[in-house]
Amino acid sequence: MTDRLGFGVDIGGSGMKAAIVDLVTGELASERIRIPTPKPATPPAMAAVAAELVRSHGWTASIGVGFPGIVRHGVMHSAANLDPSWVGVDADTVFTAACGVDVAMVNDADAAGLAEMRWGAGRDVDGVVLVLTFGTGIGSGLFVDGTLVPNTELGHLELDGRDAEVHAAASAREREGISWKQWAPRVERYLRHLEMLFSPDLFIVGGGASKSAEKWLPRLALETPIVPAAMANNAGIAGAALVARHAGI
């Protein structure tokens, strides 16, 4: 392994993805391998998939793992789109034992945000930046002058009497079979709420829905500038690898 390479795992509600990352450019330095997230998504089942991803790349150094939930000192405090048995689990220990390498855990949207701020659409942007991922749920990464405020999980803000992501995640559009045009007002309603709370200088939107940004971003009327993520679905992997490097493991 060279000093410029790292390894990241990005866990989602539907798939677990991993690759070797060039930590100078943020680009993937290997094939990105995706394995469906096991059902049920329990700690032993998911740790086994992570170990398979590491073995498939022949990687033997430390790794970063982005997890869709609140991560504090390696311990999971939520797992809204996975199995509830994760809550209270020391994921650092579980993944380290399964993968045979040192592991640094991070919230998945925080990982994606770190990558966008270092290499992507947020590079050299000061002020308050919100990086949002629209996929199975809504992930959020909040940055103030480039510094991460971790574990915001703003997809779970209550909006109109329910978690915002229930109505505005990309999975809601697919589940209900509605068009991009019909879905866009839901996203606008959510983003206007975030504008009221945080007065951001920039929204960066990623996740699966960002691949079709031209179908819905132009329909949004906001005070805050909004741009698609530059790193697409590679952001979570790259950011997780970056966290492992900065963790010094």
Whole-number average pLDDT of the chain:
95
Cα 14–chain centre separation: 13
The 10s digit of each residue's pLDDT in 72-118 is 999 999 988 899 999 999 999 999 999 999 999 999 999 999 999 99
Q: What pTM was estimated for this model as a whole?
A: 0.93
The burial class, CB within 10 Å (0-12 / 13-18 / 19+), for 39 is exposed
Question: 169 near 137, Cβ under 8 Å?
Answer: yes
Please state the rounded mean pLDDT for residues 216-239. Answer: 94
Question: 163 near 157, Cβ under 8 Å?
Answer: yes
Residue 132: what pLDDT? 96
Please state the rounded mean pLDDT for residues 200-205. Answer: 98
Report percent pLDDT > 70 for the chain: 98
DSSP H/E element including 171? helix 170-176
Please state the rounded mean pLDDT for residues 58-77. Answer: 95
User: Would you state the structure tokens that stand for residue 176, as one six-digit string?
Assistant: 């209900």
Q: Is 60 exceeded by the pLDDT of residue 7?
A: yes
Among residues 32, 9, 22, the alpha carbon closest in space to that of 98 is found at 9
pLDDT confidence band for 1 (50 / 70 / 90): low
Report percent pLDDT > 90 for the chain: 91
Question: 161 near 125, Cβ under 8 Å?
Answer: no
Please state the rounded mean pLDDT for residues 20-42. Answer: 96
Residue 80: what pLDDT? 81
Please state the rounded mean pLDDT for residues 14-34. Answer: 96
Question: 7 near 63, Cβ under 8 Å?
Answer: yes
Please state the rounded mean pLDDT for residues 156-180. Answer: 96
Residue 249: what pLDDT? 41
Q: Is 50 exceeded by the pLDDT of residue 224?
A: yes
Looking at the DSSP bridge assignments, the partners of residue 11 are: 16
Please state the rounded mean pLDDT for residues 206-226. Answer: 95
Residue 3: what pLDDT? 85
Q: Is 90 exceeded by the pLDDT of residue 2?
A: no
